Structure 1
C-alpha cells in the first residue's frame, strides 16, 4: 500500500487519456460509499463528463479507467487507485489529513478516501456552480472538517461495519440514514429485468442532492453562524467585564460553535448567558454544560421562574420583561435593553 499524508490531488499522476475520462468502480450491488465517491468526482471539471465503468475485472479496469475506487485491492494516490477492502488498509481521516486536531479512528471507505484527497476542490466547485462564491482558505478548512464530521464519517462507519456504541460512548452519529436509502435502490432478489447501471445513476442523483445540500448548509449557513458567535465572544467584555454574557445582534444556531470557539480562545466555561433576538422579541438563554445538555452553567433567578409580563417586571424591577421559563433556562423581553438588564441581574444572583 502506498502511504501518503497529503490531500493535494495534484500530486497524483495525470490522466492517461484525453477527456472524456473514465471512473472505475465495482459492478453488482452498489453501496453508498462508491455512489457518493463517484458523485464527488463528477463535480470536478476533469471528471464532469466522465463515464462510469463498473466491473470487477482488474485488467479491464486498469486498461479503461483513469481513476478506480472501491475495487482493485490497492490504495495508491499516485496511481489514483482508492480501495479500502485489503487487510493492509488502516487509514482514517486523521492519518490522511493529520493537520486537523479532531481524532477520527474509523477506517475510511471509498467515499472517505475520495473526500480526503479531493473534497476541498469538490466543495469549492459546488459553491461556484450553486452560489457563484468561494470560501476563504480558513473557512474552507472549517467546512471540509464539518462536512466530514456530519456526512462522510457516517458513510465510512457503516460501510466498514463499525458498531455505533463501544463502552457506552457513540463512535459516530447517524445524521442522514443515506446508506440505507441508497441500498434500497438496488434491485431486489426478485427483479430479473432491471438496468442496474441506471439504478446506480439514480443512486448518484439521490445521494448527490443530499451531499450538495449539506455543502450549501455548511458553507452558507454554518460558517456564517460561526462568524457571528466569534464576534460575540470577542466583544463579550464590552457587555459585562467578566465576559460571561454574550450578545448576538443576529440570531443564529450558537451552541456547538460556542463550545468550539471557547477552546480556541482559551475561554472554556466562561460564557454563562447568551442574549439574542428571535425575530419577535429578545431572549436570554443559559449556556448549557454541553451542547445537548439540559443542565446550564447559569440559569435565570429562581424567584422569577414561571412569571410573566407585569408580575415579572415588577418583581425584577425591569420594564418590558415577557417571561421566564419555569426551569429558568430561558427568559424573554420586549427590548434589547430589558434583556441586557435581565442578564446582568441574573449574573448577580448567587446560584442555589
Structure 2
C-alpha cells in the first residue's frame, strides 16, 4: 500500500508553503507551550509557595493529557484534516497561556496545564506530521518532515533566552502575557489561512478497517515498543544529564553546555537519517542509531569524569535525538499508507508520549535509591529494546 493510492490525484500545490507555515508554528508551539516552562519554574514556585517538584508536576500532567487525547485527535485529522483542529488548538493554547499568567495556586496551575495539554495534542508534531504526510509522497515527504523538524529544533534556542529576558524585564506573569500574544500571532493565522486538506479516497469504514488490521498485527506493536522505549530513554537523559554531569565533577556551566549539544546533534541525526533512507531501510538505520545511544549511556559512567569522555558520550547519544520524529512517519506510511496515518500515530503516541512524561520521574526515584549508574543502565536497556524491536519490525 502506498501513500499515493490513498489520496485523490490532485497537484501538490502549496505543499511547501504549508511546510513553511508549520515550521513557524511548531517552533512557536514548542517554545511557548513546552520549553518556556523551565524558565518560569523558580519564580512560579516562589510566588505560589510550592516546591519545584509540585510546580513541575503541572508540565507532567500536560504531557499525559496530550497523550490521552492523541487517538481522538488522530481520528479527527484523518477524517477532516488539520486546518480547523490546529487553528482551534493554537487559539486554545494562547488563551491557556493567558490563564497560566493568572494562576494563583497549584489547583489553578494544574487546571490550566490540563488545557495546555489538550492544545498541545492539537497543534504539535503529531498533528503537523499528519498534515505533511497527506501532502507529500516519497522523497518529498522525507524532505518536508526534515524541514519542519530542523526549524522547530531551534525552539528552545529561541524561546528559552527570550523567556528569560521577558521575566527579567516584566516579571513572570507579564512575560507570559507577552508569550501568549506572540504564540497567538505566530500560530493562529498560519494554521487558519495556509493549511489545506488533500482529499482521501478512502471512506471512514475503510480507514477504520486499516486501523483494526494494523493494531491486530505484530509489526504495529513492535513500533509501539520501539518508539516508547526510545522516547523514555531520551526523555530521561534530557532531564537528568546536567545533574549527572555535575555529580561526575564537571562545572555547571560545562554541564549545561554539553547538554545544549543535544539540540544541535538532533539536527545532525535527522540530516544523516534522511540522507541514508534513500539507500538503506529506515528501520535498520534507526536501530543502529538507537544501539549506539545504548553504548553511549553505558560509556558515560565509565568515561564521563573526564571532559573528552563526557563529550564523546554526549555526542554519540545526541545523534539519536529527534530521529524518531522523522522515522516513525516514514515507517507507518511505508507499511500502512496515508489514509489512517494520524489514527495509527495517535495510538502509538498514547504509549510513547506518556512514557516521555513518566520515565524521568521513575529515573529520579531510581537515582535516589540506587544511583545514577543504574539510571544510565536503564537508559541503555531502553535503547537496546528499541533497536531490537526495529530489527524485528524490519524482518516482519
Structure showing greater radius of gyration is: 1
Higher helix share: 2
Higher strand share: 1
| Bin of the TM-score, shorter chain as denominator length | under 0.3
Structure with the larger RCO, 1 or 2 (CA within 8 Å, 6+ apart): 2
Q: TM-score, normalised by structure 1?
A: 0.24
